[in-house]
Every structure is written in C-alpha cells, then in structure tokens.
Chains A and B, each alone.
Chain A
Amino acid sequence: MVTLQHYLILSAVLFSIGLLGVLTRRHAVIVLIGIEIMLNAANLNLIAFWRFGPHLENFEGLLFTLFSIAVAAAEASVGLALVIAVYRHFKTPDVEKMNTLRE
C-alpha cells in the first residue's frame, strides 16, 4: 500500500535534487531547471497532503497547486527572459561570471 510517507520521501528526494542543481550548476538554464524541479516537488507534496488529509471536499491542495503552477509559469517566463537579457549583457550564460553589477 502506498502511503503518505512514500510520497513525502519522494518529494523530499526530488526537492533535494532540484536544490542540488540550483546550488552546483554553472549554466543559468540548468539553475532554472533546478528551480522548476523544486517547485514540482512542492506541488507533489501539496497534492499528497490533500489526498491523504481529512478534508477531501475542500480542494485546498488542488487549488494551491493550481495557483502554484500559474506562479511557476510566470516565474519561468520572467526567468528565461532574464537569462536571455543577462546573456545579451555578459555574453555568457555562466552564473559564475555574472558577478558584477556594472559594465
């Protein structure tokens, strides 16, 4: 039987993988990929708590996830636009080299 514990472990693993990507990768796009993975892991958590929680009829987890997906879509679009803008400025997608605030 699959229980809440399994889902929580899975989402913890996924979240950590995403965090690892954010913290250790040089390429800005992979950093964004890591953020997406983290957001999805959080969504999984929300849905799992809703499914195993006592109030199935309230849909709170579902709606929260829905909003979080919308926010994530906005975040991805702005994030990628920033990656492009930053690339145009620094001529590199490497986050290590984006270390100045001026020219």
Chain B
Amino acid sequence: MNAAFLILSLLAVAGALLAIRLHNLVHATLSLMFFFVALAGLFVLLMAEFIAAVQILVYVGAVGILILFAIMLTPHVTGENHGRLCSRGWIWGLAGAGAVFLILIAPVLLMAGLDTPPATAALSPSVREIGLVLMTPYGIALLVMALLLTAALVGAVVAASPPARDKDEPKP
C-alpha cells in the first residue's frame, strides 16, 4: 500500500513537472498522459475503480489525443517549441504559484485529525450503486451535464471551423 502510493505519487509529480517543463510539445503531452495514468492508479488505491476507468477513458483516450491533434494543427508538427519556454514576468507567476502552494499546504500541516486511517470498506462501490445514485438524486445534474456537453460540442465545432467565406468565391 505504502509503496504503491509512493511510486504512483512520484510518477504523478514527475509527469506533471515534465509536462510543463519539456520543450517538445509532444513529449510534454506524453508525460501528461503518464500523469493521468498515475492518477488513475491513485484512484484505484482510493477504491474508486470506476472513476479510474473513466479517467483513463476520458483523459488518456480523449483529452490527451485531442491535445496531440491540436498540436498537429498548429505549426509545431515536429513538436519542437523553440525559443523561450517562459513568458515575460514568469518570476511573478512562480511567486504566485508558490504562494498558492503555501496557502494550500498550511492547513494540511496545521490541522489535526487528518492522519486518521480510512474507514474500512470491504469493496469499492459497484457500478450499479453508482448508477442508481446518478440516475435518481443526481438526475437533474446529469441532464444539465448532457446539455453542457451538447453545448460544448456545438461550441467546439463553431470555434474551430474556419470563418465562412463568401459564396461568390470559388471553393479551393
């Protein structure tokens, strides 16, 4: 248990760091995928098997691929991102991220009662139970989610499609 957590968390941190650190965009995306997989492993440790499966399906199978596709549609087909990696004023960004980190970590270290062992559950919840909860009390949220995804689908198509050309202009 301990070893699994240690390995997975190290993988996750390394994956995340490399993802924002690497010059090559494709490599960065690849390490982002490793981060996603490591996080799915952590979900399994936390007894959320179903969420882990969804994590891999959505993040590795869809979001990661989508990012690669987007990179291929920008000029960086080779993935090389020459020039400065950091934007101007990056030092302020670093300071901001550091400050947020301190604020997040302070209560974790200071508050008592966070080092209790987990409540023992025999098994991770079955998909059937999750499904029942999802369909009854969270039904309205599910509907809203469906609406949101539809809107996102339409929005993505509209945003990514090239601007309409005049009818007179011959098609290429």
Instruction: Using CB atoms and an 8 Å cutoff, list the residues of chain A in contact with chain B.
Output: 1-10, 12-21, 23-27, 29-30, 32-34, 36-37, 40, 43-44, 47-48, 50-54, 56, 58-59, 62-63, 65-67, 69-78, 80-85, 87-88, 93, 95-96
Smallest CB separation, A87 vs chain B (Å): 5
Measured CB to CB, the closest approach of chain A to B12, in angstroms, equals 6
Q: How far is the CA of A51 from the CA of B120 in the complex (A)?
A: 9
Provide the bound-state CA to CA distance between A39 and B25, in Å.
20
Indicate whether A81 sits within 8 Å of B114 (C-beta atoms), given known contacts A15-B100, A24-B87, A40-B36: no
Closest residue of chain B to A8 (Cβ to Cβ) is B108
Q: Are A59 and B39 in contact (CB under 8 A)?
A: no
Contact in complex: A84, B73 (CB < 8 Å):
yes
Interface centre among B12, B86, B153, by most chain A C-beta atoms within 10 angstroms, is B12
**Which residues of B1-19 are within 8 A (CB) of A?**
1-2, 5, 9, 12-13, 16-17, 19
Total A-B pairs, Cβ < 8 A: 233
Known interface pairs A69-B58, A81-B160. Does A26 touch B12 (Cβ–Cβ under 8 Å)? no
A74 to B152 Cα, complex, angstroms: 5
Total number of B residues with any Cβ neighbor in A under 8 Å: 86
Which residues in B have their C-beta under 8 angstroms from that of A36?
32, 59, 63
Residue of B nearest to A76 (CB): B63
A92 to chain B, nearest CB (A): 8
CA distance A78 to B5 in the complex (A): 33
Closest to A16 in B: B101
**Partner pick for B153 among A34, A43, A48, A77, CB 8 A cutoff:** A77
Q: B94 contacts the other chain (Cβ, under 8 Å)?
A: yes
Bound-complex Cα distance A8 to B106 (A): 11
B51 in contact (CB, < 8 A):
yes
B74 touching A84, Cβ below 8 Å: yes
- Give chain A residues whose Cβ lies under 8 Å from the Cβ of B155: 78, 81
